[in-house]
Chains A and B, each alone.
Chain A
Amino acid sequence: MGVSDVLDHFMRKPIRAAGEIAIETGSTSGQAQEVKQGLRFYVEYIRKDRPALVGSVIIGIFLVFALIEGTLQELASYLGPKYAYLGWVLMPSNPLALSFRTQLLGPSLKDFPNYIFGTNFQGQSIFSRIMYATPHDAVASLIVVGSAIFIGMFMGTAAGYLGGWVDEIMMRITDAFLALPAIILAITISVLIGGGFTSLLVALMIIWWPTYARFFRAQALTLRNKGYVEAAKLSGSGWPRILVKHIIPNSVDPIIAYATLDMGTVILTYAALAFLGIGVSSGYPEWGAESSAGLQFFPQQWWYSIMPGVVIAIVVVAFTLAGDRLQDLIGGRITY
């Protein structure tokens, strides 16, 4: 059992695609039922499973809020300083304004919900600051996982389908990436290409794809001997066409569960890096950075450090719950 086998275990080598399970579930009920496929199948499943439901609801709130909030912030910066209030119109207080009268207040129900997480050294409500920072985390998780799927898809399927030296080179590259701790690699890369949120995103994108490349490679290895791939080959399709038309569409489905789980990991890594002060722009609140700012007031003003961490934990637990349940389903361990 080598390293790749253990990795495969955690990525739960998928046996069936969602459509196939749907066909089975349809047939067990014994009626001429319409076969649910794709998105509708997942929605149906999530509705019946409580952990997955809780997770998906939290994820939904997080993403929708981040979308609205991000749009408002962009709008505010586009319209100029006169309309700056648009950025925090959804929050109980301005997360950027200083107010030294309310310095370091503990969590309380006074002026609900403004002070439920307490205030920081600048007297700003930690609750507002956490809400103000959501777009960055959502963007980071979506972009990093999205790009990792995209890069890993082409690298991995090409390696698995073509085999030979392409495969060999690709696997050695992923080995090199997997040998180094992700956090340390991300630190090094983002320091090399300069500070700021964008460079952090680029660093995460660079280090994130190898796991997906391995995943898609495993998929391609099992799919390349399937009948329809052979048929396509016999009918004269070249390998790029086979990859795009046959292999990739059939291996994307099982990746959804792992990607859901992984979005939580991206948020964790992003928070850890921000905690160390990497990729943080001054004047813009950030979950991890907020927590590390509270380090010097610890343990007297414990809420300063703990509260942002708790919010991160809740969001990541949501991603983990949903991803874990989906993984069970796609791995074929749950049939209902």
Chain B
Amino acid sequence: MARIIVGNPHATPGIIASVIKANDLTAPVWVQFYHYLVNVFHGNFGTDTMYHVPELVELKTYLPITLELVVVGQIIGVLIGLYTGAIAASNRNRPADYGMKALYLTTWSAPIFLVGFCMQLVVAYWLNLLPATGVVDPVLHPPPSVTNMPVVDGLIAGNWPYFWSSLQHLILPAFAIAVIGFGLVTRLERASMIDALDRDYVKLAYMKGLSKRTVVWGTAFRNALIPIITLVALLFAGSVGGAVIIEDVFAYHGMGFFSVQAIFNDDYTAILAFTTIVGISVIAANFVADLLYAAADPRVRLT
């Protein structure tokens, strides 16, 4: 469907005819779709209509950057969520609980770009702690690309200035992703912690004379962890969506930034490739979550 978009109003009839021939546009839509699917399964996402390079090359350059950002952001977000959720549950209906609720309802409701702007303003410009924009300091010589993830590449090559600089650039956007996502984790963790704290084994732990700290973090926390795994996979889709905006705000040149450029260039192969890849990675995340779930809870059997 996206093929209908007209890119260049000055195209001559000859060019149009050749484009139609090259892209097989006279075929019915479902035949075109079939060809596209076959190509995708061969790892061929078509040629970028803007930069005239295979789409796979673009994906290889930009996807790892976003992946690194989202995964780090997600880990930070889940840690914050678990911690705040456990605190809220163990202080149920006390000020700490209401405070946590106010915190996550606010971060939930804040637009993603506002979170990014506020972080840039306070941490980068007022306090001068971290760089505000970019993936890495542009004057540094990049190490040979192995994974294309800047931090990991710097680590592998032992290029410490590069590693340090890319890590510093990663912190703010990753935290922004964490902030928008942690509320859901807090909420579910609170509910499942409350459930766990009411169980008999928690009462037994108290009766054995263990301190509240040991009971909350040692006994109940571990049992409340299980439902979180499924949520993390669900959250992954939201984080990738958020990364599109975050990358725009922080000029973090990853997949999201690239796809926004693609939208304005009417670069349909890039948009399709991006959407397909995101869909695949979200399904993969769900699959990994199912496996982890079985690993965490011995009662679940994979058949």
Which A residues fall within an 8 A CB radius of B? 1-3, 5-7, 9-10, 178-185, 187-188, 191-192, 264, 268, 271-272, 275-278, 288, 291-292, 295, 298-299, 302, 305-306, 309-310, 312-313, 316-317, 319-321, 324
Interface SS majority for chain B:
helix
Verify B241–A275 contact, CB threshold 8 A.
Answer: no
B230→A298 contact, CB < 8 A: no
Q: Does the CB pair B112–A272 fall under 8 Å?
A: yes
The complex places the Cα of A182 from the Cα of B282 at a distance, in Å, of 12
Binds A, one of B51-59, B74-82, B118-126, B134-142: B118-126
**C-beta contact mask, B223-265 vs A, less than 8 Å → 1, else 0?**
0001100110110011011101100110000000001100110
Residues of B within 8 A of A181 (CB): 237-238, 240-241, 278, 282
Q: Indicate if the CB atoms of B274 and A1 lie closer than 8 Å.
A: no
A316 near B110: Cβ-Cβ < 8 Å: yes
With beta carbons under 8 angstroms apart, the residue of B111, B120, B272, B293 that contacts A313 is: B111
Q: What are 22 A-B interface contacts by the 8 Å CB criterion? A: A1-B293, A6-B188, A7-B234, A10-B187, A181-B237, A181-B282, A183-B242, A183-B245, A184-B241, A184-B244, A184-B275, A191-B2, A191-B271, A264-B109, A268-B111, A277-B263, A288-B111, A298-B120, A309-B111, A309-B117, A319-B109, A320-B109
Q: Which of A271, A276, A321 contacts B111 (CB 8 A)?
A: A271
Are B245 and A275 closer than 8 Å at their CB atoms?
Answer: yes
Cross-chain contact A313 with B110 (CB below 8 angstroms): yes
Known contacts A9-B191, A181-B238, A191-B2; is-contact A309 B293 (Cβ 8 Å): no
Mark out the residues of chain B between 175 and 214 whose CB falls within 8 Å of any chain A CB in the assembled complex: 184, 187-188, 191
Bound-complex Cα distance A313 to B113 (A):
11
A306 contacts B227, C-beta separation under 8 Å: no
| A191 CB, min distance to chain B CBs, angstroms | 5
In the complex, B279 has a CB within 8 A of chain A: yes
Most buried by B among A6, A10, A288: A6
Given contacts A188-B271, A192-B2, A298-B117, contact A183 B233 (CB under 8 A): no
Asked if B230 contacts A299 (CB within 8 A), the reply is no
Secondary structure at the A interface, as helix, strand, loop or mixed, is helix
Q: CB distance A276 to B233 under 8 Å? A: no
Distance between A260 CB and nearest chain B CB, rounded to angstroms: 12
Which residue on chain B has the smallest CB distance to residue A312? B111
Query: How far, in angstroms, from A182 to B279 measured CA to CA in the complex?
Result: 11
Residues of B within 8 A of A268 (CB): 109, 111-112
Question: Hey, which chain A residues are within 8 Å of B187, CB to CB?
Answer: 10
Q: How far is the CB of B21 from chain A (nearest CB, A)?
A: 23
- Enumerate chain A residues within 8 angstroms of B106, measured Cβ to Cβ: 313, 317
Proximity string of chain B (263-300) to chain A, C-beta cutoff 8 Å, 1 when within and 0 when not:
11010000110110011001100100000010000000
A276 partner, pick from B125, B188, B230, B260, beta carbons under 8 A: B260
